[in-house]
């Protein structure tokens, strides 16, 4: 088990450049936990919460995922979809979803290519992992808000608040 504190000490994400609010979100196609392929363009016309996280089955990542799951009905009401991305395999995601009762899509980025496009990789003891960053993407495929170094306990609630504000404007 890797602790929250450990992930707080990781290097990398803070020195990378994330796509900025207003920029077109980088397109991608990744495998899901059920083996199907998902592309960002599949969600055109919807709000997308694209969140990157370090590792399946770790305390902070589990808390963050469970909070998104807890709030899923509220996201559904707003017409938003949640997509989680880590460098873990599709099989690892399948196990994580089953163990924690997650029903939203987790996407496998084992080479870290998509995580890199979003400036969301970090090095942990010589291993590349996704950094804990989130991108709120509007229905036109543009980044509406960027969150870096998020706190798992309160993150989902903050995204919901911001989503409600952005939808008003």
Indicate whether 148 belongs to any domain: yes
In whole angstroms, what is the distance from residue 93 CA to residue 87 CA?
10
In whole angstroms, what is the distance from residue 106 CA to residue 65 CA?
10
* Total-model pTM: 0.88
Q: Which of 128, 139, 151, 147 is nearest to 5 (CA)?
A: 151
> Cβ-count burial of 59 within 10 angstroms (0-12 exposed, 13-18 middle, 19+ buried)?
middle
Residue the block writes with tokens 């992992």: 129
Other residues' Cβ atoms within 10 Å of the Cβ of residue 20 = 9
Q: What are 29-73's pLDDT values in tens digits?
A: 999 988 899 999 999 999 999 999 999 888 888 899 999 999 999
Indicate whether 16 belongs to any domain: no
Indicate whether 13 belongs to any domain: no
Q: What is the tally of structural domains in the chain?
A: 1
In whole angstroms, what is the distance from residue 18 CA to residue 118 CA?
5
Average pLDDT over the chain, rounded to an integer: 88
In whole angstroms, what is the distance from residue 104 CA to residue 98 CA?
11
For residue 32, what are the domain limits?
23-168
97 as an active site residue: the answer is no
**Residue 8: per-residue pLDDT:** 41
Catalytic residue, from 31, 48, 61, 150: name it: 61
If one compares 56 and 28, the residue with the highest pLDDT of the two is 28
Indicate whether 7 belongs to any domain: no
* Confidence grade of residue 165 (pLDDT, cut at 50, 70, 90): very high
Q: What is the CATH number of the domain that holds 30?
A: 3.40.30.10
Indicate whether 12 belongs to any domain: no
């Amino acid at each position: 088990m890797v602790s929250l504190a450990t992930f707080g000490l990781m290097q990398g994400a803070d020195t990378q450049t994330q796509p900025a609010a207003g920029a077109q979100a980088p397109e991608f196609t990744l495998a899901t936990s059920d083996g199907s392929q998902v592309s960002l363009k599949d969600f055109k016309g919807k709000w997308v919460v694209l969140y990157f996280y370090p590792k399946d089955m770790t305390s902070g990542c589990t808390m963050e995922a469970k909070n998104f799951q807890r709030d899923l009905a509220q996201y559904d009401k707003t017409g938003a979809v949640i997509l989680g991305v880590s460098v873990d395999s599709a099989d690892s995601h399948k196990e994580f979803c089953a163990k924690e009762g997650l029903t939203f899509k987790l996407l496998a980025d084992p080479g870290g290519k998509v995580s890199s496009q979003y400036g969301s990789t970090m090095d942990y003891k010589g291993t590349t992992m996704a950094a804990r960053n989130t991108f709120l993407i509007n229905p036109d495929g543009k980044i509406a808000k960027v969150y870096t170094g998020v706190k798992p306990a309160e993150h989902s609630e903050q995204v919901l608040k911001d989503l409600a504000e952005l939808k008003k404007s």
